[in-house]
Structure 1
Amino acid sequence: MRSSLVAVVSLALGLAVRASPVGSDWTLHEKRSFIPEGWSLARKLDSTAPIPLRFALTQPNIQEIEKHLYDVSHPESPNYGNHWTADQVADRFAPSPESIKVVFDWLLNSGVGPERVKLSPYKGWVEVASTAKEAAGLLRTDYNVYAHDSGKEHIACESYHLPAHVAPHVDFVTPTIHFDVPLSKRASPDTASGDSINAFGPKTSGEIVSDISGDLKDCHTTMTPDCVRALYGIKYTPVSGGKNSFAVVQYTPAGFLQSDLDMFAKKFNPGVVGKPPKVVSIDGGVVQTTNKSFGYDAEADVDIQYSSAILTSKQQVTVYQVGDLVEGGSFNNFLDALDKSYCTFEGGDDPNYDSVFPDTATGGYKGKQQCGTVKPANVISSSYGYNEADLSAKYATRQCAEYGKLGLMGVTVVSGTGDSGVTGNRGMCLNADGSQSTTGKRFNPTFPGTCPFVTAVGATQIKAGGSVTDPEIACKDHIQSGGGFSNYFAQPSYQKSAVSGYLKYHAPKYPAGTFNTSGSRAYPDIAANGAHYTVAVVGKFSDVYGTSVSAPVVASMLALVNDARIAKGKKPIGFINPSLYSSKFASSFHDITSGNNPGCGTDGFSTAKGWDPVTGLGTPNFPKLLSDYLSLA
């Protein structure tokens, strides 16, 4: 089985990896073919400038992760549900002693003093305290300073090399070719999430909902918890709340207002009035209430209000609040807290992306970086994401592997796919050289939805004038369901049959290169309604849209499935994609066959019978989904 943890193309970042040799004993490890938009070469880096080189050691078993996941996640596997412990995962994917020795020996033989070489506690990376001159010599490169239009500066090189016998033991080196730099922290409330993470939404029509009849005939314009239950046949009340767990992730300064939660609960979920969600603070995470606006509060408000309404007062909703008020937080800061081995896995966090703790800034979190301090919930919902091209393939691959490791441990990770169709965040499409611009002509996939170990959720809606019993259509009011094909990850075997059918019979005829047709991960996997949600935000009921709503709605249904399984003495469902695409679950979804997801100057993709890159396999048929999962071991 070919692993999905493979960058299937290098176009998106213009990288050539481990290519043409330089002499008989050296090999090109990575090369950048363009300077990202907004950056320019400023000057050569002073040779005495300090550079903390970090060598990410390869994980010899990581390419087997898909095989191991299938073993515990495929409905026909005899080991279905036999999830691994965190220690088993850490042991399986630890770097080999040989890799450590090879890298150490090379550095010491190159004249690096042993007192300047450090192995991380979990043996994932080797760090060298060096100067620009020494680093350039070790990697046969030149370091430059690049300037951004905003005034930000960054140290990087055009390419770098490693000895031929060392290269197989090193995944990547930092700092080198990558421009993984957040340009500002929280430039506006609508990007209030820490560093360069973007909330996909939610979006609003700007309308204030004043007349909430509660009548199901109004669901096409006023979506409520009763509408969601009617749409998907949700008639289940949790009975295993104390043994089950569900969480949503938020990044400071985004946060919820308890007054909004109570306002919503009084109307739709009276059992939780005055009962706040459980907040787990990660790296100084705080639910701030000083700044109040749709941009700051809508994401957390909608996630908590709808997941809590679906789960009822019988199941506690947990909020993972990540990052302090100064630095914010990143996906990796969050994942570090769930898995201590991830703190240093394949090089550890990247300070260009990830907030560094303790935070020395005034008012920053002064505690230690949290590593393995939080037990992962059975189901985790996230509505935040990057454009895949914002990240290096190495960074995205490292993080995707962690989602796979969580799946091995029995955790279901659900992510929205974005609200711009085939266009990326900030209205960006890809140019022919892989750079991003608003005038690009190539589709720009989102991450982490393209990770094959995440369940990616697109958006649908009730058609104008339609009812909850009518077939839904792809979302078109104010947002378009994110979907398409990854430029980084190979197509996982669980979806090959479904995706090949779409490409054979329904693929649009766009110019070559418009989207990746080389056998890559396709998304979304499934979808749920993402339009006209009634949400209490800053004291008013607003009209809200987005996969930011679709994701927690789906995640909540999966938490109900776990509840029912636990009640019968069974284990949580964990990584669900192999089961979703299996023949056993073929009738567990309402197929969506109307609509598309335009962007990048095109109509995007169209829905079709079966799987499509707009709504995936369709929307949940909850009674059937529940029955199918209860039938498994």
Structure 2
Amino acid sequence: MRSLSAWVVLSFVAAAAALPAKDCAHKVKESVPPPRGWTKTSPAPADHIIELRIALPQPNFAELERHLYEVSDPFHDRYGQHLSKEEVESLVAPEDESVHLVNEWLASHGIYEDNLSRSPARDWVLVKVPVSQAEEMLKTEYHVWTHDASGEAVVRTTAYSLPEHLDDHIELVQPTTMFSRMKSLRSTFRFDSDEEQKSAKIAANAPPISVPSASGGHVDASCNQTITISCIQQLYNAVGFKPSAKNGNQIGITGYLEQFANIEDLQTFYAEQRPDALNSTFKTVLINGGLNNQTLDEAGAEANLDVQFAFGLTFPTPATFFSTGGRPPFKPDILTPSNTNEPYSEWLDFILAQKEPPQTISTSYADDEQTVPVSFAKRVCNGFAQLGARGVSLTFSSGDGGVGDGEEDPALQECFTNDGRNATRFVPLFPPSCPFVTAVGGTIHVPETAVFFSGGGFSDVFPRPAYQEQAVSKFLKTLPEGTYKGLFNPNGRAIPDVAAQADLFRIFLSGRPVSIGGTSAASPTFAGIVSLLNSARLSKGLRPLGFLNPLVYAIQAADPSAFNDITTGNNPGCGTPGFNATKGWDPVTGVGTPNFGKLKDIVTLDLLHIAGLT
């Protein structure tokens, strides 16, 4: 009879023998051409630390997607019956075999459970390793690549491989082939001049503008030069509605790229535009090394814009600002551990782990869709679907480059494919191109017209979802035959879905009044209206709205007056006039801007799918 110690030794030897050898056959997992606008400058330092994000397949995602559409479809009996955190995690969890085989592979490189972390559903594995080890694991070579226009640098490769037996058990590994440059979608801002202040005083004394859909049928004339909280409430028929602070409703704003929302500026803003909110504040949550610098001269224009308008519109709804650290650029003179991942994934890891995330969350950052590897874009999009299934409404700015890339200045736009062909192509943005989020375009002035920089178009990655088929097909039929042929994908997910005011917003930045614009103003504005709708629903014992798009398009088809249809303006880019705003949905302003009063009447009906839309 063998001793227990002998069995232990034999078991250890057998387990060690089962580990895949480092030199086993590998297969190229992903390969991209040298990215346009980037220059390979030097080999990456061997001791530079990167955090590899390893995605395991989600074999039951189609089932999650079915649940998402059923609970988001106002015509379905399950409308509003969102899934729990645990139910969602069970639907995206990888197979045990995938977990086991990936564990073996990591162990063969000396990486064990104590050296890694996992997402709540175990569908992501995160490991921090030096470049030299990543190169061995992925049979690749990392280099420092410099972006020609900005001078920013990243550590990336153009191809990597995995052991052949893991091909079906790992969907992707990043950072490897992603050369995106996450941008804040803010166009320009300027401090108020004496001339502008004089014009504002004149406008303040002018007669109001007649807008039948607005609260009271009119809007202050000053709103044509300066957008305030009062202007939004008037224009979108929300005057007089008071959300509850105690019904469980919450709103969130995401912040990236060292953007800090300044509390002192917020108080100054409140004193001028929302005096009843004075001395109230918001919760700041730090993610992945995010910071909360409250030095006044470090205030972020983007963060202040988002917080002041979203939280000003929804006071006294409890509010959260998520400050997420990390950005792709690599600093070659600082070889301390740093995160070179796309920050969206860091935020998603955090928010999906929360039991009760805010029901409405706005984001004003994006990448050119073509710079995000398809595999990664789809996985991040799937993460947004998980939030939607749990009852979270996600709004994203549609972009500030019209049909071009994120550059507002058409002279700086590079409307070429990034696949080595250098073909001319319109440039949609991601994440607004994800079908599981609500993309928000922009308008300007009263009466409203499309603002010229409003991002819009058609995804080259995601097909058009069924919820927008009718509205988008109708628009495409109005285009003269051959219009922009080859410049966009007429079968792609269309953006934006909706719109809101996007320019001339008056905020406070570093203690001074500033006029600011961009679809980064439109997204928190529309999110503020959604949060008010959620408050109205929750106060009546109804569920939050969750994933908005099926409802948005259903309402627009049944009662177009619930949205203010924008029929003038266009979004030039890539050397073209872009698309025109027109009757019904269009790729400049979506189905239009919200009429809160009408929408509230619809969404607060019980049995919405029967009483509200049939």
TM class by shorter chain equals 0.7 to 0.9
After superposition, the C-alpha distances for 1:186-222 in whole angstroms (9 at most, x for unaligned) are xxxxxxxxxx432111522554353555551222112
Q: 1:273 aligns with which of 262, 275, 278?
A: 278
Distance 1:459 1:127 in 2: 37
Give 3-state SS (helix, strand or coil) of 1:487's partner.
strand
Runs of 5+ unmatched residues, structure 1? 1-24, 182-195, 341-371, 463-467
Q: CA deviation at 1:71?
A: 1.0
* Aligned residue number for residue 158 of structure 1: 159
Q: 2:474 aligns with which of 483, 486, 501?
A: 501
Give 3-state SS (helix, strand or coil) of 2:459's partner.
strand
Q: CA deviation at 1:527?
A: 0.3
The alignment status of 1:262 with 2:267, answered yes or no, reads yes
Distance 2:173 2:326 in 1: 28
Instruction: Trace 1:460-609 onto structure 2 (pairs within 5 A).
Output: 460-462=443-445, 468=446, 470=447, 472-476=448-452, 480-506=453-479, 509-510=482-483, 512-517=485-490, 519-582=491-554, 583-609=557-583
Native 8 Å contact 1:248 1:380 kept in 2: yes
Q: CA deviation at 1:599?
A: 0.7
Q: 1:210 aligns with which of 184, 197, 207?
A: 197
After superposition, the C-alpha distances for 1:332-365 in whole angstroms (9 at most, x for unaligned) are 222222123xxxxxxxxxxxxxxxxxxxxxxxxx
Q: CA deviation at 1:308?
A: 3.2
Distance 1:490 1:54 in 2: 26
Native 8 Å contact 1:240 1:566 kept in 2: no
Runs of 5+ unmatched residues, structure 2? 1-24, 206-219, 328-335, 608-614
Residues 275 and 613 of structure 1, relative CA distance in 2, 3 Å threshold: same
Q: CA deviation at 1:280?
A: 2.7
* Aligned residue number for residue 321 of structure 1: 323
* Aligned residue number for residue 7 of structure 2: none
The residue type equivalent to 1:201 in the other structure is R
Instruction: Trace 1:86-97 onto structure 2 (pairs within 5 A).
Output: 86-97=85-96
The residue type equivalent to 1:268 in the other structure is Q
Q: CA deviation at 1:319?
A: 1.8
Single out whichever of 214-223 and 121-130 deviates more from structure 2: 121-130
Q: CA deviation at 1:510?
A: 4.6
Native 8 Å contact 1:260 1:538 kept in 2: yes
Native 8 Å contact 1:534 1:542 kept in 2: yes
The alignment status of 1:418 with 2:399, answered yes or no, reads yes
Native 8 Å contact 2:436 2:547 kept in 1: yes
Relative to the length of structure 2, the TM-score reads: 0.78
Residues 550 and 147 of structure 1, relative CA distance in 2, 3 Å threshold: closer
Give 3-state SS (helix, strand or coil) of 1:534's partner.
strand
Instruction: Trace 1:176-215 onto structure 2 (pairs within 5 A).
Output: 176=176, 178-180=177-179, 196-201=181-186, 203-208=188-193, 209-211=196-198, 212-213=200-201, 214=204
Greater helix share, structure number: 2
Native 8 Å contact 2:117 2:127 kept in 1: no
Give 3-state SS (helix, strand or coil) of 2:224's partner.
coil
Q: CA deviation at 1:161?
A: 6.2
Q: CA deviation at 1:535?
A: 1.9
Single out whichever of 573-582 and 282-291 deviates more from structure 2: 282-291
* Aligned residue number for residue 366 of structure 1: none
Give 3-state SS (helix, strand or coil) of 2:588's partner.
coil
Native 8 Å contact 1:584 1:628 kept in 2: no
Give 3-state SS (helix, strand or coil) of 2:69's partner.
helix
Residues 412 and 436 of structure 1, relative CA distance in 2, 3 Å threshold: farther
Give 3-state SS (helix, strand or coil) of 2:197's partner.
coil
Q: CA deviation at 1:607?
A: 1.2
After superposition, the C-alpha distances for 1:426-476 in whole angstroms (9 at most, x for unaligned) are 444342453699xx73211112111111111100112xxxxx4x3x11013
Give 3-state SS (helix, strand or coil) of 1:413's partner.
strand
Residues 508 and 235 of structure 1, relative CA distance in 2, 3 Å threshold: farther
* Aligned residue number for residue 167 of structure 1: 167
Instruction: Trace 1:284-303 onto structure 2 (pairs within 5 A).
Output: 284-290=289-295, 292=297, 296-303=299-306
Distance 1:151 1:220 in 2: 38
Distance 1:263 1:54 in 2: 42
Native 8 Å contact 2:44 2:155 kept in 1: no
The residue type equivalent to 2:68 in the other structure is L
Distance 1:430 1:267 in 2: 42
The alignment status of 1:143 with 2:141, answered yes or no, reads yes
The alignment status of 1:220 with 2:224, answered yes or no, reads yes
Residues 591 and 32 of structure 1, relative CA distance in 2, 3 Å threshold: same
The alignment status of 1:231 with 2:235, answered yes or no, reads yes
Native 8 Å contact 1:224 1:533 kept in 2: yes
Give RMSD over aligned pairs. Answer: 3.5
Native 8 Å contact 1:417 1:457 kept in 2: yes
The residue type equivalent to 1:231 in the other structure is L
Q: CA deviation at 1:27?
A: 6.2
Residues 245 and 275 of structure 1, relative CA distance in 2, 3 Å threshold: same
Distance 1:580 1:234 in 2: 18
After superposition, the C-alpha distances for 1:565-597 in whole angstroms (9 at most, x for unaligned) are 111111111111000011345431111111110
* Aligned residue number for residue 33 of structure 2: 33
Native 8 Å contact 1:481 1:614 kept in 2: yes
Q: Would you say how many aligned residue pairs link Structure 1 and Structure 2?
A: 539
Native 8 Å contact 1:382 1:414 kept in 2: yes
Instruction: Trace 1:382-461 onto structure 2 (pairs within 5 A).
Output: 382-426=363-407, 427-434=412-419, 441-461=424-444
Relative to the length of structure 1, the TM-score reads: 0.76
Give 3-state SS (helix, strand or coil) of 2:494's partner.
strand
Q: CA deviation at 1:305?
A: 2.3
Distance 1:51 1:536 in 2: 38
